[in-house]
Structure 1
Amino acid sequence: MTDQWWADVRQRVEAAGAGPASSKVFGALGHKWVLEDPLTQGELAELEAQIGVRLPEEYRGFLLHVGAGGAGPAYGLFPVRRVQGRWRWEGDGADLADLSRLAEPFPDQGPDPDLVNDVLAQRPEEEDFDDIEDFDDAIEAWDERWEAVMFAPERTAGAIVISHLGCAQREWLIISGSHRGTIWSDCRVDDVDLAPLLHEDGTPVRFARWYTDWLEKAERTALSTP
């Protein structure tokens, strides 16, 4: 993606934020239409040296020409900041990403289906217990087993959390591996596995389209007459 893709995006975000109906855009009360300053080439180089991998080109362009985070899809694009000499992404759930594993390829496959089905088959049912406290203990133990399968750290190696949709639902940007540059949905809190966002033609959604599609929809709302 060329730098021209991002040429006027910051100005468009600022104009939408000043629009008469800007507060009606979903998530605007969270990000408040604020974009952080772009990174310098030196800061980006320092970030990539720390994580040990070059970020996807579309995202690199955004960081250099639009901002390090802020206004964006849902409650905003998680900003990347230098804190006490180390770079990190900040936001609700950003710490789910293991920054020491970003150079590892994001896995092509999810957990073993047989293992998932085995854990699901063992889910306790309330009618099987005479004492509600015994059921609560059993379901708590089951939840721990389920989370160990679905939220295993290796499942999101090579990826960062970039946005929070509310109710513990998030979106990830894949940094490494065959899915590099694509956006994935994370609704594991609702027992729905990680899945790539797809266009109507079935092709994966990449960062630039993810962001500019949001901006186009936001502009239609924010710039409309209340």
Structure 2
Amino acid sequence: MQDTFAGIRNALATLRESPQPLDVFGSQMHGFRTHPPLTEEAVRDFERTHQIQLPAEYRGFLIHVGNGGAGPAYGLFKLGEMDDGFGHAAWHAPGAFVGVLSEPFPHTEPWNDLSGEPEEDLERDIAEDPEYEDAYNLWEEKYWSPFNLNGAIPICHLGCAYRQWLVVTGPEAGNVWCDDRVDKAGLRPLEEAGAARVSFLRWYQSWLNEALAQVQQ
């Protein structure tokens, strides 16, 4: 795997040094640069704190490539961080958004439980209907509960509250999942070129290869 990480570092250098501007979505945010790598001890501290072991591919990336930065969409989050408005901020698990990392990820198939969502009556003024508002808030709290994503960490955002997560605990550990709840489309495993599951490195290298294709044109 060391050769893989060396290849990623070299590819990112090629992208940074490209003599031509590259039209890669989100790259203006990171400029194909990663943050400094984490030490083995820093990663172990995180794992001890959350009583987990990070997937080997992601763990190796943090130590041998960088702690976030260059990556798909608007870039890879630092370990323990996620988007927060126009910036990034630390998350705390379990908390308002991230669940219990040591609990197994609860899904093995796409999930979109819309049960209990109150039906909107277009003939009523919702702003003056506290009963509807209360019912909707209760449903929304359930739908967006951090416990729906136990055993997973956010790794990047695509804008407009669309995010991708890396499963760290349970049968899906190591796979990337898409969070489309903002569109009431639930959670689903990322698929690529016929593959039913996409691991962290496959996800990252697919983005890298697409960017490199522009340099080689």
TM range (shorter): 0.7 to 0.9
Please name the residue that 2:114 is paired with.
116
Q: Is 1:95 aligned with 2:91?
A: yes
Contact 2:33 2:70 in 1 (8 A): yes
Q: Is 1:134 aligned with 2:128?
A: yes
Q: CA deviation at 1:100?
A: 7.1
Structure with the bigger RCO (C-alpha within 8 Å, sep 6+) is: 1
Please name the residue that 2:202 is paired with.
209
Q: CA deviation at 1:134?
A: 2.1
Gaps of 5+ in 2: none
Please name the residue that 1:64 is paired with.
63
Report which of the two has the higher share of helix: 1
Distance 1:112 1:40, change over 3 A: closer
Contact 1:79 1:91 in 2 (8 A): no
Measure the CA separation in 2 of the matches of 1:207 and 1:111.
18
Percent identity, aligned pairs only, is 37
Worse overlay, 59-68 or 14-23: 14-23
The structure 2 residue matched to 1:144, chosen from 134, 137, 140, is: 137
Instruction: Classify the secondary structure of the residue corresponding to 2:41.
Output: helix
Worse overlay, 96-105 or 188-197: 96-105
Instruction: Classify the secondary structure of the residue corresponding to 1:73.
Output: coil
Measure the CA separation in 2 of the matches of 1:184 and 1:123.
29
Q: CA deviation at 1:97?
A: 5.6
Q: Is 1:125 aligned with 2:121?
A: yes
Gaps of 5+ in 1: 81-87
Aligned residues: 210
Map 1:1-226 onto structure 2 (within 5 A).
2-80=1-79, 88-92=80-84, 95=91, 98=94, 101-108=100-107, 116-117=114-115, 119-120=116-117, 122-127=118-123, 129=124, 131=125, 133-134=127-128, 137=130, 140-221=133-214, 223=215
What amino acid maps onto 1:106 in structure 2? F
Measure the CA separation in 2 of the matches of 1:216 and 1:109.
28
Distance 1:212 1:112, change over 3 A: closer
Contact 1:34 1:71 in 2 (8 A): yes
Q: CA deviation at 1:20?
A: 3.5
Q: CA deviation at 1:110?
A: 7.9
